[in-house]
Structure 1
Amino acid sequence: MNRLENDILALLESGEPVALATIVSLAGSAPRTPGTRMAVRRDGAILGTIGGGRLEAEVIQAGRESLHTGKSLLKHFELTGKDAREMDMICGGVLDILVEPLSSDAQTVALLHTFERLRDAGKELLLVTLLRDAPDYEKQLLSERLLVEQTPEGPVFHPRRPENHNLLLPLLETAMAERCPTMFTIEDERENDRVVIEPVLASGTIHLFGAGHVSKEVAALAHQVDFRVEVYDDRPEFANRERFPRAAAVHVPEDMAEALDPKRIDPNSYVVIITRGHKYDMDVLAQALRTEPCYIGMIGSRRKRDKIYESLRKQGFKEADLSCVRCPVGLDIHAETPAEIALSIVAELVSFRASMKDRT
């Protein structure tokens, strides 16, 4: 939900608080999955959606209440039978939605800026919300938000390490292993304390080789579906910030045969090859095959692919190496224009990313 969080940050920086609603648990079926977020403004306007219908209407009302009281709410919905039908759901589910006010104070804004910086750097993060009952306020909660950065040396807390961090450590490990929002009871002297832990998994970096018309469209569309994009082309008149304003990085290598830096490629990387010629495509593909991204795709006809593969076999690459390459890249939607081709490519990337999550 990168764009939603960016929009929330813009509102807070303008001085407007918002209420953030997050599906934190689900059993059965519902329109959206755990981790889905929606922001509620003071007038009831929303950013994002948790599925529409009466469910969303009730959460909007809870968001306005949260902004009025400054307290958080944990809403429990049992959407079965008549309740499910009244909430426009074909079949029912049981879900919990955390609704919490985000104020426009300096600490909240600073935490979101830290989140933005670490997320854009491809870090795996955990959002932690500590909850305790609000004295004298029935069914309302006091909440505190923390950000946890996963590092080789262990978790780093922002803006501070909580007093009960030792109790949190095993819960953090469990939440990351489950890779979805999880609510726990903290086993200490305060029996009503709870914590919601939400893994923020890296959405994937597209390493886009080639900065022509199709690549420009791919980069723009990929941003809309929360991919991070780095662009590579040896032509500065194409590879520049004016053409790729939202790219995380724009690289202008001297030689496309050495454009791919293996240190930039990890199992959360998507290599997409759309250069201006067969020779450049083959050079980049040869480099990509020596690394371990989760996805490699190359544009071109089957005839072009076969010629490139034959050359790569002569360089020592095996069938097992070549079989992992998606070529022609993109879903077959009979695309013709650069925008249509970009749509087919990004649709395939979204599908692949979803399949990766299903396997975790």
Structure 2
Amino acid sequence: MLDLATELSAWAGEGRDFAVATVVAVSGSAPRGPGAALAVDSAGTAIGSVSGGCVEGAVYELCQQALADGETVLRRFGYSDEDAFAVGLTCGGVIDVLVTPVTAGSPARAVLHTALSAAAEGEPTAVARVVRGPAELLGQVLLVRPDGSCEGGLGGHSDLDRTAAAEARALLDGGRTGTVELSASGAGRGSPRTESGGGSHCPGGLTLLVETRVPPPRMIVFGAIDFAAALVRAGKFLGYHVTVCDARPVFATRARFQEADDIVVDWPHRYLRRTETDGRTVLCVLTHDAKFDIPLLDTALRMPVAFVGAMGSRRTHADRDRRLREVGLTDRELARLRSPIGLDLGARTPEETALSIAAEIVAARRGGTGVPLTGSGTPIHRDAGERGAVAAA
């Protein structure tokens, strides 16, 4: 749902009634994961997607029904040989979809409006909703902020709210969306699927979907060259906040990098040492000049960022590797360097090269192999446990 925050916040601000269908669980192969949403307003306007097209028509009808009767419903969609192309997931997976009406009379409207507005403004936001449990709790909403403050609640049970808030903050810290299992008793164990104390209010336990929205991850492109301009566009398309950094003011200009969020004129290693990075940050070194590369990579490969790649020929890489060893980098640190950067696509133009770099970043982020799916035998859709080291955006 939070992936539609900008649009839904505007709808709520205009006083529109709407219903939101959210994917809350996935098994097998499915096009979209938990948190994916489709929303329909009272005029029949639809935005978003829950399945890439397989079950959109049926979910659209559920949203209209929810608007008509005000009822929150949980519905499962799976593959059906007899009805595969009408309703079922032809890819063979199963998804659970929660449909929630957000109307003038719905108790969760004010909380959701606040959450959607905060997410649309780029504020770190977590929303916990009951997706399995007692009927009276289904769809209850708790908004959780990074400082621990909350709005809304899960049925008026303060102990349940405290447990849910703690679990939601843990997911928010990592920028992750996932489900949390709350059992009848016991303490939280702090994983994307965890058992926590739900108290006697939920004798059968319940499940929460915790959606989070955090500021976009950073991509920092070092080297104001023509390949960098194409990579900036690719980075923006993938949802990164993109910065271009180069020590040469004649090249690092807004006219050349109109789509970049930030343009910095500074020595790359000096800028990297003073700017903010985290475990989702992607660093792309396109300078292929030793006087820039070595001090920059010496700094980058010692930092807990998600991805460090450097452009250059294999001869350049061999020389770069030797120089980095001379400044004291270890085998383990050097193993983090993706050089030459990009997947082997036979790229020639700046745009093709940017595509190859972006493809490697996605593969690292999602745990992909980079080989053609044809004949590979690898899963097309991986769950969170199968993904690689680059944190989700």
TM range (shorter): 0.7 to 0.9
Task: Report 1:1-360 matches (<5 A).
Answer: 4-13=4-13, 16-52=16-52, 55-77=55-77, 79-84=79-84, 86-87=86-87, 89-90=89-90, 92-102=92-102, 108-118=112-122, 123=124, 125-130=125-130, 143-150=139-146, 155-157=148-150, 159=151, 163-171=156-164, 180-182=178-180, 187=199, 189=201, 196-200=208-212, 204-235=217-248, 239=252, 250=262, 252-261=264-273, 264-275=276-287, 277-355=289-367, 357=384, 358-359=386-387
CA distance in 2, matches of 1:327, 1:264: 24
Alpha-carbon distance, 1:355 to partner: 1.8
CA distance in 2, matches of 1:141, 1:241: 52
Q: After superposition, give the CA deviation of every residue in 1:9-58 in whole Å (9 maximum; x if it has no partner).
A: 34445554543211112344444333322233445443332225562211
Cα distance change of structure 1 residues 108 and 179 upon mapping to structure 2, 3 Å threshold:
closer
SS of aligned partner of 2:82:
helix
Q: After superposition, give the CA deviation of every residue in 1:108-151 in whole Å (9 maximum; x if it has no partner).
A: 444323224455xxx5x5321257999xxxx9988454332345
Cα distance change of structure 1 residues 213 and 141 upon mapping to structure 2, 3 Å threshold:
farther
CA distance in 2, matches of 1:156, 1:82: 49
Alpha-carbon distance, 1:180 to partner: 2.0
SS of aligned partner of 2:178:
coil
Alpha-carbon distance, 1:97 to partner: 0.6
CA distance in 2, matches of 1:240, 1:140: 58
Q: Percent identity?
A: 28
SS of aligned partner of 1:300:
coil
CA distance in 2, matches of 1:21, 1:349: 30
Is the 8 Å Cα contact of residues 309 and 341 (structure 2) preserved in structure 1? yes
Which ranges in structure 1 are unaligned for 5 or more consecutive residues?
Answer: none
Q: Which amino acid aligns with 1:309?
A: D
CA distance in 2, matches of 1:44, 1:80: 28
Q: Which amino acid aligns with 1:96?
A: D
Is the 8 Å Cα contact of residues 24 and 182 (structure 1) preserved in structure 2? no
CA distance in 1, matches of 2:199, 2:84: 34
Cα distance change of structure 1 residues 131 and 241 upon mapping to structure 2, 3 Å threshold:
farther
CA distance in 1, matches of 2:320, 2:136: 63
Is the 8 Å Cα contact of residues 3 and 37 (structure 2) preserved in structure 1? no
SS of aligned partner of 1:20:
strand
Q: Which amino acid aligns with 2:96?
A: D
Alpha-carbon distance, 1:292 to partner: 2.0
SS of aligned partner of 1:129:
strand
Q: Which amino acid aligns with 2:241?
A: R
CA distance in 2, matches of 1:101, 1:245: 41
Q: After superposition, give the CA deviation of every residue in 1:275-334 in whole Å (9 maximum; x if it has no partner).
A: 374422333212212312121111121122222222222222233322210111111112
Cα distance change of structure 1 residues 320 and 108 upon mapping to structure 2, 3 Å threshold:
closer
SS of aligned partner of 2:293:
helix
Is the 8 Å Cα contact of residues 63 and 99 (structure 2) preserved in structure 1? yes
Q: Which amino acid aligns with 2:293?
A: D
Q: After superposition, give the CA deviation of every residue in 1:209-230 in whole Å (9 maximum; x if it has no partner).
A: 2344332332332232233333
Q: Which amino acid aligns with 2:25?
A: S
CA distance in 2, matches of 1:184, 1:130: 10
Q: How many residues align?
A: 347
Q: After superposition, give the CA deviation of every residue in 1:46-104 in whole Å (9 maximum; x if it has no partner).
A: 33322255622110111223334454332233545535465354465543211223469
CA distance in 2, matches of 1:317, 1:132: 50
CA distance in 2, matches of 1:220, 1:71: 43
Cα distance change of structure 1 residues 224 and 256 upon mapping to structure 2, 3 Å threshold:
closer
Which ranges in structure 2 are unaligned for 5 or more consecutive residues?
Answer: 184-197, 369-383, 389-393
Q: Which amino acid aligns with 1:114?
A: A
Is the 8 Å Cα contact of residues 140 and 153 (structure 2) preserved in structure 1? no
Q: Which amino acid aligns with 2:179?
A: P
Is the 8 Å Cα contact of residues 35 and 177 (structure 2) preserved in structure 1? no
Provide TM-score, normalisation by structure 2: 0.71
CA distance in 2, matches of 1:240, 1:38: 40
CA distance in 1, matches of 2:45, 2:250: 42
Structure having the higher helix fraction is: 1
CA distance in 2, matches of 1:107, 1:245: 37
Provide TM-score, normalisation by structure 1: 0.77
Say which is worse superposed, 281-290 or 61-70, in terms of deviation.
Answer: 61-70
The CA RMSD measured in Å over matched residues stands at 4.0
CA distance in 1, matches of 2:15, 2:28: 39
Cα distance change of structure 1 residues 184 and 61 upon mapping to structure 2, 3 Å threshold:
farther
CA distance in 1, matches of 2:358, 2:2: 17
CA distance in 2, matches of 1:295, 1:343: 16
Is the 8 Å Cα contact of residues 274 and 298 (structure 1) preserved in structure 2? yes
